[in-house]
């Protein structure tokens, strides 16, 4: 029904590549589709023994503002998403998780990107050590679920993975599944 007739590789970057495909449509016409090729990523709803959720604040250059987010990172070559989640959690928050559970996986921007973001619930936290990337500057904080939900409903939290992770965690708790 859809068929890719031609692929033009436009850009090869550090975190994303760009291609433009010429595509045959179901009605016999052709069009072009611009595609962002992005490695998958993992994010963590990490909950401490007091029920507080670990957050990081970081400057996001693409947006030009500091965003309050759950910890996350891009998968390394051949890395399993749940290994990435455990690695990035310790690198960004200094905590290791004794228990990890998949919450959901989603497409960030289906119209133009192949990026998949996997979200995990991490608990039984014990102290490890920070290991930031050399171009990464983060500030830690912790919020109760109620505080995080308030910041989502008020629009203060605007990051997709953070909204989805917290709303899923809240819903599963409400349903008695956590």
Q: How far is the CB of 80 from its own copies (least distance, A)?
A: 17
28 scored as a contact of its own copies (CB under 8 A) = no
Nearer CB in complex with its own copies: 9/124: 9
Distances (CA, A) of 88 to 24, 79, 85, 95, 131: 40, 12, 5, 9, 9
Q: Which residues contact 132 (CB under 8 A, 6 or more apart)?
A: 91, 92, 138
Q: Are 17 and 9 in contact (CB under 8 A)?
A: yes
Interatomic CA distance for residues 93 and 130, integer angstroms: 6
176 scored as a contact of its own copies (CB under 8 A) = no
Fill in the per-residue mask, 123 to 162: x = in contact with its own copies (CB under 8 A), - = not in contact: -----------xx-x-----------x--xx-x--xxx--
Q: Which stretch binds its own copies (CB under 8 A): 14-22, 76-84, 85-93, 138-146?
A: 14-22
Q: Of 76, 124, 146, 171, which lies in the binding site for its own copies, with binding defined by CB under 8 A? A: 171
């Amino acid at each position: 029904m859809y068929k890719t007739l031609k692929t033009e590789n436009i850009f090869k970057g550090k975190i994303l590549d760009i291609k433009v495909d010429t595509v045959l449509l179901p009605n016999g016409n052709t069009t072009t589709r611009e595609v962002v090729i992005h490695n998958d990523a993992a994010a963590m709803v990490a909950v401490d023994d007091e029920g507080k959720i670990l957050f990081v604040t970081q400057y996001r250059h693409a947006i030009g503002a500091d965003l309050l987010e759950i910890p996350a990172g891009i998968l390394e070559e051949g890395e399993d998403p749940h290994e990435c989640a455990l690695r990035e959690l310790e690198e960004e928050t200094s905590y290791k998780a004794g228990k990890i559970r998949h919450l959901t996986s989603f497409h960030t921007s289906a119209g133009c990107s192949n990026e998949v973001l996997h979200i995990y619930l991490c608990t039984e936290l014990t102290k490890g050590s920070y290991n930031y990337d050399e171009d990464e500057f983060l500030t830690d904080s912790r919020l109760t679920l109620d505080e995080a939900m308030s910041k989502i409903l008020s629009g203060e939290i605007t990051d997709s993975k953070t909204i989805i992770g917290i709303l899923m965690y809240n819903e599963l708790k409400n349903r008695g599944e956590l």
